[in-house]
Chains A and B, each alone.
Chain A
Amino acid sequence: ETGVTQTPRHLVMGMTNKKSLKCEQHLGHNAMYWYKQSAKKPLELMFVYNFKEQTENNSVPSRFSPECPNSSHLFLHLHTLQPEDSALYLCASSLYRLVSYEQYFGPGTRLTVT
C-alpha cells in the first residue's frame, strides 16, 4: 500500500471500552499527526510526533493516549471516552515537522461513542 492508511475506518464503542486507532505511512516521513474533525468545527490538531518523539499535545484530555513506536506507525489509544468525542480522527504525516512541508492525510477513522 502507499500513502497513509488508517484502521479501523469505522468504530463504535461504549464509554467504558478501550480501543486503539492505528495509522501507518509508507512515505518515509518523519513527522506524524493526529487531528480531530467534528461537524461545524475546524480541524483540531491533537498530537504531533517528530522522529518518534512527541513534540506537541494541544491540551488533549488524558483519555486519549498516543503512541509512536517508529516513524511509520502511530496509534491513538482510547479509554473512557465521552459522547462528545464522537468525530472523524485523521492521521497525517509530513517529511519534517515544518509548515513548509506538505501534510498527507489518511482517510480517517469515524468514531462513535455510545
Chain B
Amino acid sequence: TQLLEQSPQFLSIQEGENLTVYCNSSSVFSSLQWYRQEPGEGPVLLVTVVTGGEVKKLKRLTFQFGDARKDSSLHITAAQPGDTGLYLCAGARNTGNQFYFGTGTSLTVIP
C-alpha cells in the first residue's frame, strides 16, 4: 500500500484544456510538495503547502492542501505543451525528517 496515491496515473489532453490531478492519503502531513519531472531530468520543486486549506497559485497552476492535511490537488488552466511531464507529490509527516513520494501523474499536452 502506497502512503500517497496519485490519480490519474496517466493523462493526455489537448492544448488549452483544464485539468486536475490528485494526491490522496489516509495519513496527515505537516507539509506537502509538488514537483514536475520532465523527460531526462530530475524532479523540480513547484510548491510547498503547509497549512490545511491553503491555496497557492503559480501562474496557471493552482495548488490546494486539504483542510485535514491528508490530500492535495493541482489544477492547471489552459494547459500548454510545456506543461508535459511527470507530476509528483511528496508529503512530510509530523514525525521523522523525510518526504514520502507518490507514484506520479504523467501528463501529456498535445499541441
Interface residues on chain A, size class: 20 to 34
**A42 at the B interface (CB under 8 A):** yes
Residue of A whose beta carbon sits closest to that of B40: A107
Question: B101 touches which one: A43, A97, A104, A108 (CB < 8 A)?
Answer: A43
Task: Judge whether A113 is part of the interface by a CB distance below 8 angstroms.
Answer: no
- Whether a CB of chain A sits under 8 angstroms from the CB of B103 is yes
Q: How far, in angstroms, from A40 to B101 measured CA to CA in the complex?
A: 12
> Interface digits, A92-109 against B, CB 8 Å rule (1 contact, 0 not)?
100001111011111110
> CA A103 – CA B45 in complex, angstroms?
8
A99 touches B42 (CB 8 A): no
B61: Cβ under 8 A from any A Cβ: no
B2 touches A42 (CB 8 A): yes
A4 within 8 A of B: yes
Give a binary string over B73-95; 1 marks a CB under 8 Å from any A CB, 0 the rest. 00000000000000010101000
Q: Could you say which residues of chain B place their CB within 8 Å of the CB of A45?
A: 98-99
Q: How far is the CB of B105 from chain A (nearest CB, A)?
A: 12
Q: Is the CB of A42 within 8 A of B102?
A: yes
| A81 within 8 A of partner (CB) | no
Q: Which residues of A contact B (CB under 8 A)?
A: 4, 40-43, 45, 56, 90, 92, 97-100, 102-108
